[in-house]
Amino acid sequence: MTAAAVAERATPTADPARRLAVVRDLLVRDALVPYLGPGLLALSDSSLPATPEAVAAMLHARAPAPSRIRTNMWAVAQFIESRRHRKTLQAFMADAFSAPAEPSPFLRYLASLPISLVVNAWYDAAFATALKEAGRVDFVEIQGITRAGVTADIWTRAYDAAGAECPASAADTTKTVLYSPHGGVRPAKNFLVADSDYVEVMTEIDIQTPIPPAARARRAERGFLFLGCRFHDQMLRTYARQIMKRSTGPHFAVAEVAAMTRNERKFYQDQMIEVLDVPLAEAAEALIG
């Protein structure tokens, strides 16, 4: 693709309504991988922390951290793990996300579609709940796990629709794979949140080792749709870049350009992601149709 084409893809479209219709068609045809960020919690009546900064504030309130790091979720979590204990950090995170996350109408609609791969990039269980409420039993959730205290050479654990741990191979034949790279509060309180959780992951992620084979296989002939995501932190950009690696596209993001940082704009441009500059709630309504 030429440089001009890359720039055009990354520039906010002049007709988002028309492009949302295209995105909806691709979703229905299972040609896109929804990448669900914490911003989607705003579409439901949720009290859960919906940004890394909100999690940092929650952790700081429980265990005050130095002022230079107190707004950085990963650093505050590392401070707690180092000073208190991993179990303390896990308990704080489990408590913060303990309230059930009510699925929004959009997530319920998404759960009704025969989508092969969905990425849940936050710690809540809203989309898994939507799948269960839709009567779906044909899905497997694969969650990233911390390597703290783990001696086996594993990066993820898999769970069936009932929440029971299952072999990773179960994801090869199920209709939908729900990939939660940062873990999730349910069913087993897996959390990648401290800096130390990501040290080994970041050394291996370029060669794709931490990303489950089922996710790698299913992204190969699809594009990505980013919803409710921010990429103002390098770690978030790195994860997204590696998860979408070797996918065919096209890629889209619903994101308000005025709120973007310079690095976010560059990320969208570099990854050839077409930005639909519309409010998330409006885009969700259009995608439901």
Per-residue pLDDT, 10: 55
The predicted model gives 156-164 an average pLDDT of 98
Per-residue pLDDT, 147: 85
The Cα–Cα gap between 237 and 245 comes to 12
Q: In 3-state terms, what secondary structure has residue 173?
A: coil
**Mean pLDDT of the chain, nearest integer:** 94
Lowest mean pLDDT among 152-156, 157-161, 168-172: 152-156
Confidence at 6, pLDDT banded by 50, 70, 90: very low
Percent of the chain with pLDDT strictly greater than 90: 89
Per-residue pLDDT, 150: 77
Model confidence at 8: pLDDT above 90: no
Model confidence at 110: pLDDT above 70: yes
283 or 4, greater pLDDT: 283
The predicted model gives 153-163 an average pLDDT of 95
HSE, side-chain direction, 13 A CA sphere, residue 44: 24
Per-residue pLDDT, 3: 44
Percent of the chain with pLDDT strictly greater than 70: 95
Q: How many helices (H) and strands (E) does the chain have?
A: 12, 11
Tokens 């050479």 correspond to what residue? Answer: 153
Tokens 């992204």 correspond to what residue? Answer: 219
Q: List the domain boundaries for the chain.
A: 3-48+97-288, 52-96
Per-residue pLDDT, 4: 46
Q: What is the pLDDT of residues 211-220, one digit of tens each?
A: 999 999 999 9
Q: What is the pLDDT of residues 43-93, one digit of tens each?
A: 998 999 999 999 999 999 999 999 999 999 999 999 999 999 999 999 999
Contact between residue 66 and residue 56 where contact means Cβ atoms under 8 Å apart: no
Distance of CA 103 to the CA centre of its chain: 15
Q: What is the pLDDT of residues 257-267, one digit of tens each?
A: 999 999 999 99
Lowest mean pLDDT among 197-211, 216-230, 260-274: 197-211
Q: What is the pLDDT of residues 10-57, one digit of tens each?
A: 556 668 889 999 999 999 999 999 999 999 999 998 999 999 999 999
Work out the end-to-end distance of the chain between its first and last CA atoms, rounded to an integer number of angstroms.
32
Q: Quick one: angle between helices 234-243 and 195-204, nearest 10? A: 40
Contact between residue 74 and residue 193 where contact means Cβ atoms under 8 Å apart: yes
The Cα–Cα gap between 251 and 274 comes to 6
Per-residue pLDDT, 11: 59
Between the alpha carbon of residue 184 and those of residues 98, 128, 163, 245, the distances in Å are 11, 10, 12, 23
